[in-house]
Structure 1
Amino acid sequence: MTRVLVVYGRSRWPLRLVAALALTVVIGVRVLPSHRRIRARIALAGAARPLPPADAARVRAVHRAVVACRLGWWRGQLDCKDRAAATVLATALTGRRCRLVHGARTLPSGFHSWAETLEGTPVGTEEDNGSDHPWTAVHRT
């Protein structure tokens, strides 16, 4: 099965710097044992609770910066869980918050993670045919 990742154009350098910092933290989470990774991602997302909510435009801009930011020293794969956690963390580093959402679907079966504004606007669900076969949220942080 081939996975298609939407590649966005350039984003502003301050957002790319924040995205690179967030991706570095998220890659650090990847070295944890597998049973601790999801808890670490949820704890990172939950740390932004006192911040004011972000609007959809800001979360989309941060998500574009995370997807466009490719760390030169990391040769491994970045999953949707990593991109979503980095988007939530980078949004928190800009002074706003959004949700980390884990979801699933039945046909074709799959698991996906994305960011979501507090109003419920999803960001990152278009990956892996998300527009054709919608995702159902299972857990929101």
Structure 2
Amino acid sequence: MIHAPARPALARRLPASAAMLVALAVRTLPVERWRMRARLALARSVTALPAADLAHVQGMYEAVVACQPWWWRGQIDCKERSLATVVAVALTGRRCHLVLGARALPAAFHAWVRTADGRHVGDDEAGGRDHPWTPIYTAP
């Protein structure tokens, strides 16, 4: 379960809210294949930007989690949070990588964000510390 952190500063709240709206717009696409293609296309579109450091990515991830809209009727999954983090970091002029992964026992899929130097943000959700995730795909 994700608990919302404290309300972030306005400089982080604006890109995080805009990025969450983009991620939720992708979620409303009617076919899952289209949703995944849109997520990967958005994640690949930020490759020309300079790399973000761990503190910046962690701060934007926490801002995205804090800016989840109350009016959204469905569940906001890790795919939306990680895509929103990539987009929010891109809106601030930096880049990070979207990572899709899985584990065998207990069988599950997960998405998180990786910095350019290989540090992970958001991979500790859903028991990630007890049962580590194996990265399957990393968007450049």
TM-score range, shorter-chain basis? over 0.9
AA aligned to 2:70 is G
Following superposition of structure 1 onto structure 2, how do residues 76-95 of structure 1 map, counting pairs within 5 Å?
Answer: 76-95=74-93
Unmatched 5+ stretches in structure 1: none
Say whether 1:22 aligns with 2:24.
Answer: no
Following superposition of structure 1 onto structure 2, how do residues 90-109 of structure 1 map, counting pairs within 5 Å?
Answer: 90-109=88-107
AA aligned to 1:102 is L
Give me the whole-angstrom Cα distance separating, in 2, the residues matched to 1:44 and 1:8: 26
Q: CA RMSD in A?
A: 1.0
Give me the whole-angstrom Cα distance separating, in 2, the residues matched to 1:14 and 1:72: 20
Which residue of structure 2 aligns with residue 8 of structure 1?
Answer: 5
The partner residue of 1:45 within 27, 43, 46 is: 43
Give me the whole-angstrom Cα distance separating, in 2, the residues matched to 1:73 and 1:17: 17
**Distance change >3 Å, CA 131–CA 6, structure 1 → 2:** farther
Give me the whole-angstrom Cα distance separating, in 1, the residues matched to 2:3 and 2:133: 17
Following superposition of structure 1 onto structure 2, how do residues 92-131 of structure 1 map, counting pairs within 5 Å?
Answer: 92-131=90-129
Report the Cα offset of residue 11 of structure 1. 1.4
Normalising by the residue count of structure 2, what TM-score does the alignment of the two structures yield?
A: 0.95
Contact 1:6 1:127 in 2 (8 A): no
Identity of aligned pairs, percent?
Answer: 49
AA aligned to 2:133 is W
Q: Number of paired residues?
A: 138
Q: Deviations over 1:74-95 (max 9, x none)?
A: 2221100000000000000000
Q: Deviations over 1:102-133 (max 9, x none)?
A: 00001111100001101110000111010111
